[in-house]
Structure 1
Amino acid sequence: MTEQAFFVLTALVDTPRHGYGIVGEVSGLSDGRVKLKVGTLYGVLDRLVADGLVEPDREEVANGRLRRYYRLTEDGRTALAAEVQRQASNARAASERLRAWRPADTGGLA
């Protein structure tokens, strides 16, 4: 799962959101590290919809513009939970290695 897809799914956990709302939520969740451009966002959403992880919720007109809202599906929740577990396991493995790490003896070479 890409980082963008991970954060889009995460952004949709609590409530359906429209595109601009997803972009803002992803930025906040990632502390600004993930900045979705419109083309990237809709590419990710199209893939997630095709995979059955996200589905359209409703459409509204706001300020003369159509807003399509998306929501997380049950399969999306399951996929996100599995990805959270995978990332946590990876982080634990790396943390254990880092705690045990000792600089290699360079034999006097610096």
Structure 2
Amino acid sequence: MPKKSLEVLTESMFYVLMAFWREEKCGAEVAAFVEEKTGGRFRLGPATLYTLLAKFEKEGYLSPSQVEGRKRTYRITPKGRAAYLGEVERLRRCLADAQSEGGFLP
């Protein structure tokens, strides 16, 4: 049975939503946040980033808070917060499963 498109977030989706957790941001600020948060391990290209921002806006996870020319600033919505927290919980369960199998050191 196919999953809903946003039922499980990809790594890029997860970090984009994380970027909005504390404050509103524009796309460039999101990209900088993700690169800094991951120590450069993960970088979002412009095509991926702006595709995700548009998708999240369409799905109601983000809403624009300010538009200045081509620059758009977004805020996370309650639906976006719920999706982010749901993914955090899913990842916690995955780690707990791995730990119960000795899959990593505590």
TM-score (norm. length: structure 2): 0.83
Letter in 2 for 1:48: F
Q: How many residues align?
A: 96
Alignment-derived partner of residue 8 in structure 1: 16
Point out where structure 2 has 5 or more consecutive residues left out of the alignment: 1-8
Alignment-derived partner of residue 27 in structure 1: 35
Is residue 71 from structure 1 mapped to residue 75 from structure 2 by the alignment? yes
- Deviation >6 Å, runs of 4+: none
Is residue 86 from structure 1 mapped to residue 94 from structure 2 by the alignment? no
Letter in 1 for 2:11: E
TM-score (norm. length: structure 1): 0.80
Alignment-derived partner of residue 57 in structure 2: 49
Distance 1:54 1:99 in 2: 35
1:30, distance to aligned residue in structure 2 (A): 2.0
Point out where structure 1 has 5 or more consecutive residues left out of the alignment: 101-110
- Rg (Cα) greater in structure: 1
Name the Cα RMSD after superposition: 1.6
> What fraction of aligned residue pairs are identical, expressed as a percent?
30
Alignment deviations for residues 9-56 of structure 1 (CA, whole Å, 9 cap, x no partner): 000011110111000001122222220111110011111111111111
